[in-house]
């Protein structure tokens, strides 16, 4: 892969996506070993710079870096000098002065990782920027879909919930479009807007209208932190109209895959029996996340050719 950064899937080609997913498939084996480490990125420095909370994404990147033998350092906004009023540019200049090879960034402002990528020589991976993109999540989602469905061309993926404020949905929309999948969106009008429709993307609103045709149902959390209070429905009302429970799932194909990027609000967008049920591949998504992030660190930093040596 020839790029310096991974900021979003909007401009990533089908061949690049396939290369990332293939590399990730090869790296999966490392996490199954007793000694989960290869020397591929020995001596390379990876910094995770997080201005928003995270459990899965942070741990997943940390483990990916460690399993490739890179040196990883974590900076979280809550404990950094950002709290003392330092600007993002100054924080980045200081990190740059310590010679990192790659910075993984999460920020509440769309475009923050792009600013870093433009101004510095180190590689940047976007780990979520506001409502814009979260490319590594969409890649691990696509790897999980591919494991079960093979080629994604012509497959139907329903994305349900707060689609508009979801960077996970946006990256999936771009990636799935590139892979030739068909996307059906459903959710309340304020969270699933008609203008999101486009080539290969249909907006349907009601969950029942997307379930029957779906090979995959991706459920999303309401992004409460990104919504004005007045726009928030009550949890009960939301669960009734847009949540997925066993009764609604019965309308879908019995081979449908249920996905969720986490964190799940149990009883709101997903009932516990569906979240933990036999159609759920949510834990596979988490496992695949480590492999996808190993692949990206490897491809962006140009590790040795033998990926799993």
Q: Footprint of ligand NCD on this chain (CB under 6 A)? A: 56-57, 128, 134, 137, 167-168, 221, 261-262
Nearest approach in angstroms of CB 185 to ligand NCD is 16
* Sheet of 71-76, strands arranged across: 71-76, 45-50, 102-107, 123-129
Nearest distance from C-beta of residue 90 to ligand NCD, angstroms: 25
Q: DSSP letter for 151, please.
A: S
Closer by beta carbon to ligand NCD, 26 or else 74: 74
- Asked if 134 contacts 6 with a C-beta cutoff of 8 angstroms, the reply is no
Are the C-beta atoms of residues 300 and 125 closer than 8 Å to each other?
yes
Lookup: tokens for 287: 């496992």
What's the CA gap between 266 and 44, in Å, rounded?
39
Kindly tell me which of 56 and 279 has the beta carbon lying closer to ligand NCD.
Answer: 56
Nearer to ligand NCD by Cβ, of 126 and 271: the residue is: 126
Contact 195, 173 (CB under 8 A): no
Closest approach, Cβ 140 to ligand NCD, in A, equals 9
Residue closer to ligand NCD by CB (options 72, 261) is 261
The span from the first CA to the last CA of the chain, in angstroms, equals 19
Q: Which is nearer to ligand NCD, 104 or 168 (CB)?
A: 168
The nearer residue to ligand NCD, 69 or 190, going by C-beta atoms, is: 190
Alpha helices per DSSP H over the chain = 14-27, 56-67, 88-96, 112-119, 135-149, 167-178, 208-211, 235-242, 246-249, 272-275, 282-301
Q: How far is the CB of 85 from ligand NCD (least distance, A)?
A: 26
Of 203, 130, 199, the closest CA to residue 171 belongs to 130
Cβ 250 to ligand NCD shortest distance, Å: 26
Neighbouring residues of 257: CB distance < 8 A, sequence distance ≥ 6: 144, 145, 148, 149, 215, 216, 217, 279, 281
In the bound complex, what is the minimum distance in angstroms from residue 308's beta carbon to ligand NCD? 25
User: Of the candidates 184, 182, 172, 191, which has an alpha carbon nearest to the alpha carbon of residue 8?
Assistant: 172
Q: How far is the CB of 253 from ligand NCD (least distance, A)?
A: 25
Q: Which is nearer to ligand NCD, 100 or 289 (CB)?
A: 289
């Amino acid at each position: 892969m020839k790029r310096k950064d991974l900021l979003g899937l909007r401009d990533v080609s089908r061949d690049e996506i396939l290369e990332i997913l293939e590399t990730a498939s090869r790296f999966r084996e490392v996490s199954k070993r007793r000694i989960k480490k290869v020397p591929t990125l020995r001596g390379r420095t990876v910094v995770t710079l997080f201005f928003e909370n995270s459990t899965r994404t942070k741990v997943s990147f940390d483990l990916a870096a460690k399993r490739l033998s890179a040196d990883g350092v974590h900076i979280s906004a809550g404990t950094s000098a950002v709290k003392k009023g330092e600007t993002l540019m100054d924080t980045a200049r200081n990190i740059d002065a310590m010679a990192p090879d790659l910075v993984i960034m999460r920020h509440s402002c769309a475009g923050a990782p792009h600013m870093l990528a433009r101004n510095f020589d180190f590689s940047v991976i976007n780990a979520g920027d506001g409502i814009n993109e979260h490319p590594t999540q969409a890649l691990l989602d696509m790897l999980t879909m591919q494991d079960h469905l093979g080629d994604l061309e012509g497959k139907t993926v329903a994305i349900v919930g707060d689609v508009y404020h979801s960077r996970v949905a946006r990256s999936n929309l771009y990636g799935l479009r590139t892979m030739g999948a068909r996307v059906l969106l459903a959710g309340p009008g304020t969270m699933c807007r008609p203008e999101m429709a486009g080539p290969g993307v249909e907006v349907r609103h009601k969950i029942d209208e997307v379930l029957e045709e779906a090979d995959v149902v991706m459920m999303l959390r309401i992004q409460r932190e990104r919504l004005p209070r007045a726009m928030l429905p009550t949890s009960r009302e939301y669960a009734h109209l847009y949540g997925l429970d066993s009764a609604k799932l019965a309308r879908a194909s019995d081979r449908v895959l249920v996905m969720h990027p986490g964190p799940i609000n149990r009883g709101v967008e997903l009932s516990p029996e569906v979240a933990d049920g036999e159609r759920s591949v949510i834990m596979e998504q988490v496992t695949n996340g480590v492999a996808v992030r190993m692949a990206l660190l490897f491809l962006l930093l140009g590790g040795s050719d033998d990926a799993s040596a």
